[in-house]
Amino acid sequence: MLELKNISYTVDDGKGIIKDLSLTIDDKKFIVITGPNGGGKSTLAKIIAGIVKPTSGSIILDGVDITDKNITERARMGISFAFQQPVRFKGVTVRDLINLASGKNLTTAAACDYLSEVGLCAKDYINREVNASLSGGELKRIEIATVMARKTKLSIFDEPEAGIDLWSFKNLINVFEKMHDEIQGSIIIISHQERILNIADEIMVIANGELINRGSRDEIFPTLLDDTENASAGCSVLRGVK
């Protein structure tokens, strides 16, 4: 179980990005965090992964206080993080990243399986460098594959749908569902997407640095929808949270 207790994060000019936020994430839960842009969602995810250090408050993972643990220590304790904007590397190949993520040298077939899962033709990608020759969407899928390969008890995805086209969007949902079934860990996804919100056990709404609502999908989902606009536009982006 992950617990955040009274987490605050204030930037240099005194502005509060996260304000005294507390929440718990139970084991094996599929959580979607949503809310308006600039509300603090990504910062919160980075605080959990250790990339951003909170100004105050504590983070407890399975009863252990990890507030002072660094990124590496948290990764080794079972926290994974998929970046909203994946990082490019000259010379590091897709295979290298997947091997590093899994912690061992996988067979080509095993490494390719992860790529196939995210909708990439594995043989075309496995030996490519993770550099500027890959499109944003390709990088995004590789980023998701690296988190899948880690098989950790807590996986955090920061807006995984950004840059993913509609065809692969359906597969993306399958990937998360399958991952949840197989690894039996908790998954936290930051998203605005209705279809991702739809598969959540629980939805949390973060706005202005605070947790303003949380509950089951059935409780929260209706409060986010603007029926008229979504029905007419067929738009999958929820009004009020974008």
Partner 1 sequence: MDMDDKVLESLLEEVAGLHEVPQGAYNIRLNGQSASRHSSANIEIVGKTDKPGIDIIIKPGTKNESVHIPAIVTQTDVHDLVYNDFYVGDDADIVIVAGCGIHNCGSQMSEHNGIHRFVLGKNSKVKYIEKHIGEGDGTGERIINPQTIIEAGENSYIEMETTQLKGVDSTVRITKASAEAGATVVVKEKILTHGKQYAETRFEIDLNGEGSSTNLVSRSVAKENSKQKFVSIINGNAKCMGHSECDSIIMDNGVVTALPEITANNVDASLIHEAAIGKIAGEQIIKLMTLGLTEAEAEAQIVNGFLK
Which residues contact partner 1 by CB under 8 A?
Answer: 49, 51, 70-72, 75-76, 79-81, 83, 86-87, 89-93, 96-97, 100-101, 103, 129, 146, 150
**Choice between 72 and 107, CB closer to partner 1:** 72
**Residue number, 7 or 101, with CB nearest to partner 1:** 101
* Strand ranges, E, within 50-182: 56-61, 64-65, 79-82, 154-158
Angle subtended by helix axes 108-117 and 94-102, to nearest 10: 100
Cα separation, 104 vs 81, whole angstroms: 19
Walk across the sheet containing 154-158 and list its strands: 79-82, 154-158, 186-190, 30-34, 202-207, 210-216
203-220: b (≥16 Cβ within 10 Å) or e: bbbbbebbbebbeebeeb
**Among 46, 36, 3, which Cα is nearest to 21's?**
3
Please say which residue, 145 or 205, places its beta carbon nearer to partner 1: 145
CB of 94: closest distance to partner 1 in angstroms?
12
Closest distance to partner 1 from the beta carbon of 75 (Å):
4
Separation of alpha carbons 21 and 58, rounded Å: 10
Of 103 and 136, which has the nearer Cβ to partner 1?
Answer: 103
Can you list the positions of beta strands (E) in 191-233?
A: 202-207, 210-216
Residue 139 or 238 having the CB closest to partner 1: 139
Task: Provide, rounded to whole angstroms, the least separation between the CB of residue 61 and partner 1.
Answer: 15
Q: Tell me the closest approach of the beta carbon of residue 167 to partner 1, in angstroms.
A: 27
Which residue number, 76 or 170, has a Cβ lying nearer to partner 1? 76
Residue 79's nearest CA partner among 127, 126, 25 is: 25
* Rounded least distance, CB 145 to partner 1, Å: 12
**In this structure, what token pair is assigned to residue 10?**
């204030």
CB of 48 to partner 1, least distance (A): 11
Q: How far is the CB of 175 from partner 1 (least distance, A)?
A: 18
The DSSP letter of residue 48 is: H
**Pick 18 or 97: Cβ nearer partner 1:** 97
